[in-house]
Structure 1
Amino acid sequence: MGRGFQRLSVPGPTVGHMSQAAPTASPGAPTSRWESQRSFDELGRPLRDVTFCVVDLETTGGSAAAGSMITEIGAVKVRGGEVLGEFQTLVNPQTQIPAFIAVLTGISNSMVADAPPIESALPAFLEFAAGTVLVAHNAPFDVGFLRHFAEVQGRPWPAFEVVDTVRLARRVVTRDEAPNHKLSSLARVFHSATTPNHRALADARATVDVLHGLMERLGALGVHTLEELQTFSSRVSTAQRRKRHLADGLPHSPGVYLFKDDRSRVLYIGTSRDVRTRVRSYFTASETRSRMGEMVGLASSVQAIECATPLEAEVRELRLIAEHKPSYNRRSRFPEKVTFVKLTREPWPRLSLVKRVLDDDADYLGPFGSRKLAEKCLAALHDTFPVRQCSDKFGLHPARSACVLAELGRCLSPCDGSVDSDTYAAVVRQLRETLLRRPDDVVEIVNQRMAALAADERYEEAGVHRDRLAAFVRAAARTQRLSSLTRCSEVVAARREDDGRWAVHVVRHGRLAAAGVIPPGADALAYVAALRASAETVVPAPGPVPAATAEETERLLRWLESPTVRLIDVEGEWTCPVQGASRHLDGALGSRP
């Protein structure tokens, strides 16, 4: 229907490159043998451009929380294989250094007697390390000590990113190469120019060489950015990494990506704000799911569909998954497999389970993702409203014997004339009010039943009623929210994105009809008018269901209801009942669906 999404390719504002003067290296500081690789793919933050601060501590014990103190801080700042500066200071622990620690480190009580306390040493180190990525060998130990004393001093801890060389070494260095992953062992493996000796600066220098040695190995495995380094896993196979060229040429923009096999069959569909970065992660460090590894092994190409906004990408992903039903997507493949609870329009209305909504003036609740959930909801309604449950067709004056449910008092029994049409209609009106606007009757009755069962310690039976109530309240809330947007022939809304530009979306009968980004300096009103004019023509679906899948409309609702969205125009009435089911989601169920 119509021409589909309107998408405009709008160039973003030019972003200047900010640089900061590097500190001068200390005289005599060793220069690493690692050279930056000029062929790094400009994806994420290339390792050659990242400034690392490699730090090492000497302490009086193993736990800052238990009272251990720092006796020395040593650090080396490096970028692109070049040492930019060093930091070293002894620290007065203001307590006696245990003898075995003094023997291990060579730091005695007399050496630290005139050293600054941690209250002075820590701020100096944090100033030196500002704006860097912290690196340490067994980082939780060193960084944990530093954070502890920052908290003791009431000093905010900077948002440092951290790289742990022990963690990396465990995934790269085998037991054939080294008996363990201690710094001294790894320094020998990578031929460090500095021998670790339990003094902070020497150990930091050795850790620099270990870091660079690990980077060289990981570079051969396709790890070239900080993001890939931080998430590297040896579970990603070499064959998987060799396919990273499939990401070449994909856009750094919002969109949908489709992995295809050698027969162009779609294997997997995903979405991202940055398609190229996300696809690249499947071939490098971030993707460790065995199922995805299997999928990548079958993939021979990746197709990208650029989208104007991340929301458009999410919607396109849902539609493409429903269309292609890729075997490696677990969710959203069968949106057509849903169930509704229907309140029929006939002389003696009843509740039933149906697979689709008809234009028959009946009332519907749903959709439910499974028939089991729909049955629970149906049971909760039948527990509250004694409408007939049989599927027989009979007129206003039926004449037949009553069923077992009637004998149990769970049906008004119109079949044998036990109830007149006016009384029955009043119950149906109350049921319809519960479905569409106010679910209080069901919530109250089921809660009373649960309380009584719990008081008798019949907890399993109470749990059954709890699950029925949860299914009903969630379905009622979902139906009310979806139908509120479905009733609007058009909703136009905008939100300022992180780059300062305005993303605009046109929603018609619960379906995304157009998406675009207002170009900088453009006439906003004229742009929105043009977007609306070219948007997809959407024919409303029958009944209360949206002209899209429920999942798509829910994505749109989440975006529209976010606090930064501004409504431009609404054609129709977009409201939810004040006494609706949503207010029971937290109180009655304890959590949102």
Structure 2
Amino acid sequence: MERPFQWINRLLSLGLRHDQATAVGSAFQQEVWIRKTMREARKHTYSLDTPLSDVIFILLDTETTGFSPQRGDEIFSLAALKTKKGEALDLYCSHFRPKRSIPEQVVILTGITNEDVADAPSLQQEMHRILPFLNRSILLGYHIQHDIAFLNEFLSRNYRTSLQQTAIEMRRIMERIHHDTFPTLDDALSFYGLFPVNRHTALGDVMSLFEIWKRVFAELQQMKIDTLHDLYALLSQCS
């Protein structure tokens, strides 16, 4: 691979100004690094006989400007809690400065204003922290495909790649365990007699997910759901 200065020199030879060449070279190097990180993530997958107690589960939640990443809606807040054996290990949490304003109805829902994110880093600036944090894990969340869709749209648009981690819907696990329906995070919290704190914020919802996951993980152990194979078999059962 060419060194950064060699790449910049090539761009300069094509007539770009030094500041333009430096910006392009930096973006190119970031894309190379991110794609390498994704390849490393692809290599690390848990085998089906891996005990659940050995798996890193990351609880993930995002707040977004809307529901359509394909139409330009963006993530403006993300929280991820790394867990093992139902215990918390590490936390990542940050606001991001989106290119479009946070709509009024979203501000009302989340309590996060445009002023709150005005000086925040962009999502692109934080990717060098987010991706390594998520690596070597299985992602868990409530309606987690919403979060994955936004992250993958961003990664695809900017770096022509996507997340490699398995993502599991917490709702499905609860419904298989209890043979009942839990359409929302609030329903899941209510079932366990829990009360949300800072609801509809990424950090608040991730901490609520953690309280649920502690109980769900204990229930899986009681049911002798010991390995990833056991968990996937449970999830494959008809309702």
Given the two structures, how large is their TM-score scaled by the length of structure 2?
0.73
- The answer (yes or no) to whether the contact 2:80–2:91 under 8 Å persists in 1 is yes
In structure 1, the residue matched to 2:164 is 159
Q: In the alignment, does 2:212 pair up with 1:210?
A: yes
In structure 1, the residue matched to 2:229 is 227
Structure 2: how far apart are the matches of 1:61 and 1:173?
32
Structure 1: how far apart are the matches of 2:215 and 2:198?
16
Q: Which of 122, 125, 139 is the aligned partner of 2:127?
A: 122
Q: Which of 85, 88, 106 is the aligned partner of 2:90?
A: 85
Evaluate the alpha carbon distance shift between residue 235 and residue 129 of structure 1 in structure 2; reply closer, same or farther with a 3 A threshold.
closer
Evaluate the alpha carbon distance shift between residue 158 and residue 233 of structure 1 in structure 2; reply closer, same or farther with a 3 A threshold.
closer
Deviating more after overlay: 110-119 vs 195-204 = 195-204
Q: Which of 51, 59, 68 is the aligned partner of 2:56?
A: 51
SS at match of 2:89: strand
Q: Which of 168, 185, 201 is the aligned partner of 2:187?
A: 185
In structure 2, the residue matched to 1:108 is 113
In structure 2, the residue matched to 1:68 is 73
Q: Tell me how far 1:155 sits from its aligned partner.
A: 5.1
Structure 2: how far apart are the matches of 1:193 and 1:84?
23
Structure 1: how far apart are the matches of 2:139 and 2:155?
15
Residues 329-386 of structure 1, C-alpha deviations (whole Å, 9 max, x = no match): xxxxxxxxxxxxxxxxxxxxxxxxxxxxxxxxxxxxxxxxxxxxxxxxxxxxxxxxxx
Q: Tell me how far 1:170 sits from its aligned partner.
A: 2.6
Residues 131-154 of structure 1, C-alpha deviations (whole Å, 9 max, x = no match): 111111112111111111111111
- The answer (yes or no) to whether the contact 2:86–2:213 under 8 Å persists in 1 is no
In structure 2, the residue matched to 1:145 is 150
Q: Tell me how far 1:56 sits from its aligned partner.
A: 0.2
Structure 1 stretches of at least 4 aligned residues deviating more than 6 Å after TM superposition: none
Q: Which of 136, 158, 171 is the aligned partner of 1:131?
A: 136
Q: Tell me how far 1:160 sits from its aligned partner.
A: 0.5
Report the RMSD for the aligned CA atoms in angstroms.
2.3
Q: Which has the higher contact order (CA 8 A, sep 6+)?
A: 2
SS at match of 1:217: helix
Identity, % of aligned positions: 27
- The answer (yes or no) to whether the contact 2:225–2:231 under 8 Å persists in 1 is yes
Q: Tell me how far 1:212 sits from its aligned partner.
A: 2.7
Residues 456-477 of structure 1, C-alpha deviations (whole Å, 9 max, x = no match): xxxxxxxxxxxxxxxxxxxxxx
Structure 2: how far apart are the matches of 1:199 and 1:72?
8
Structure 2: how far apart are the matches of 1:69 and 1:235?
35
Q: Tell me how far 1:227 sits from its aligned partner.
A: 2.6
Q: In the alignment, does 2:100 pair up with 1:99?
A: no
Q: Looking at CA atoms only, which structure, 1 or 2, has the larger radius of gyration?
A: 1
Q: Tell me how far 1:221 sits from its aligned partner.
A: 2.9
Structure 2: how far apart are the matches of 1:105 and 1:94?
18
Structure 2: how far apart are the matches of 1:234 and 1:149?
30
Evaluate the alpha carbon distance shift between residue 126 and residue 64 of structure 1 in structure 2; reply closer, same or farther with a 3 A threshold.
same
Residues 241-282 of structure 1, C-alpha deviations (whole Å, 9 max, x = no match): xxxxxxxxxxxxxxxxxxxxxxxxxxxxxxxxxxxxxxxxxx
Aligned amino acid, residue 143 of structure 2: N
In structure 2, the residue matched to 1:28 is none
Aligned amino acid, residue 75 of structure 1: A
Given the two structures, how large is their TM-score scaled by the length of structure 1?
0.31
Structure 2: how far apart are the matches of 1:234 and 1:140?
18
Q: Tell me how far 1:225 sits from its aligned partner.
A: 1.3
Q: In the alignment, does 2:203 pair up with 1:198?
A: no
Aligned amino acid, residue 232 of structure 1: L
- The answer (yes or no) to whether the contact 1:61–1:69 under 8 Å persists in 2 is yes
- The answer (yes or no) to whether the contact 2:109–2:200 under 8 Å persists in 1 is yes
SS at match of 1:87: strand
- The answer (yes or no) to whether the contact 2:65–2:75 under 8 Å persists in 1 is yes
Aligned amino acid, residue 221 of structure 1: M
In structure 2, the residue matched to 1:423 is none
Structure 1: how far apart are the matches of 2:237 and 2:134?
32
Q: Tell me how far 1:117 sits from its aligned partner.
A: 1.1
Q: Tell me how far 1:231 sits from its aligned partner.
A: 3.5
Runs of 5+ consecutive residues of structure 2 not aligned to the other structure: 1-47
Q: How many residues align?
A: 192
Matches within 5 A, 1:154-553: 154=159, 156-175=161-180, 180-192=182-194, 195=197, 197-233=199-235, 235=237
- The answer (yes or no) to whether the contact 2:87–2:214 under 8 Å persists in 1 is no
SS at match of 2:99: coil
The structure richer in helix per residue is 2
Q: Tell me how far 1:119 sits from its aligned partner.
A: 0.9
Structure 1: how far apart are the matches of 2:193 and 2:167?
24
Residues 294-325 of structure 1, C-alpha deviations (whole Å, 9 max, x = no match): xxxxxxxxxxxxxxxxxxxxxxxxxxxxxxxx
Structure 2: how far apart are the matches of 1:215 and 1:52?
11
Deviating more after overlay: 189-198 vs 127-136 = 189-198
SS at match of 1:142: helix
Deviating more after overlay: 196-205 vs 180-189 = 180-189
- The answer (yes or no) to whether the contact 1:163–1:230 under 8 Å persists in 2 is no
- The answer (yes or no) to whether the contact 1:54–1:207 under 8 Å persists in 2 is yes
